[in-house]
Chains A and B, each alone.
Chain A
Amino acid sequence: MAEALHWIGGALILAGALLSILGAVGVLRFPDVYTRIHAASLTDTGGATLMLLGMGLISPLGFVMLKLLLVWGFIMLTSPAAANALANAAFGAGVRPRIGTFQIMGEDKPGGSGPERSGEGTAS
């Protein structure tokens, strides 16, 4: 029984790690800061949840499990606050998101050159 739990827990940790890698791939592939935040939230939610769940299955019954539950709770509380602060700061600094496949918000012409620099200097 304990043996089976170890295997299941290990598989869950591996799945969480895979999800975190996918999140990192998304951060590299997506074009601007807002879409990258979406990719990073894969690591926050899915990756962290699966890994903590796996650790909970491997750990002995008791305080360790409760502590892992607390860690998960705090990640769920703090990661949206951090993501919101990041997005809000970017928007406040004048970085405008790409809207649709080509267009940048607030610009009429399609933004063909470097979406990362799209919003610089537009803050008034």
Chain B
Amino acid sequence: MTYALGLLVALGGFWFVLSGQISPFFGGVAVISVIATMWLSARLKVIDRDGSPYHRAPQLLLYLGWLLGEIVKANVAVIARVVGPSHAIDPAMVEVKSSATSNLGRALFANSITLTPGTVTVDVIGANLKVHALVRENAGADSFDEMDRKSARTADPHRASGS
């Protein structure tokens, strides 16, 4: 129920920001479309912990701030390879294990890897991620550890107090 409420608030806020109108007509259309979306989501059974993760919003925002720093660093690294000599790249395919227990944590970890330039998640099988990296030394055994730890702590339940 709380997940449905979170989705309701998010959809309402989304509509309001996009339209910027509060006249009765627009309000009525907003109510209709939000209810229709809620009904479709309920039919698809996606209103659950993974589909409506707004209860983790503070942690997700903190994580986003850290991830942005990583993205900036990775951008600089990839630019150096783009303008560098053609033999500067050293592609590699590595297996990475996610320590997250929830699907949300695994999805967050896999998408974070893909979002940082220089690494792409090719496949996810259970907790194992197949990752393609532009440079081998950026995909060593422990280079994903920090991201794994942080994403698991962000998305997994009852892990907020652990280090």
Contacts and interface: CB of A to CB of B under 8 A. Distances in A.
B132 A97 contact: yes
Contacts of A7: none
Contact of A38 (B78, B83, B121, B136): B78
Interface in B96-126: 110-112, 114-123
B68 to A, nearest CB: 8
B91 A70 contact: no
A19 B83 CA distance: 12
A81 B110 CA distance: 9
**Number of chain A interface residues as a range:** 35 or more
Nearest to A96: B93
Nearest to A63: B20
Contact of A84 (B83, B87, B117, B121): B121
18 contacts: A22-B82, A23-B82, A30-B82, A30-B89, A31-B89, A35-B134, A38-B78, A38-B119, A38-B120, A42-B79, A44-B115, A45-B116, A46-B117, A80-B121, A81-B111, A83-B120, A88-B123, A91-B123
5 interchain residue pairs of minimum CB distance = A80-B114, A26-B82, A46-B75, A80-B111, A41-B117
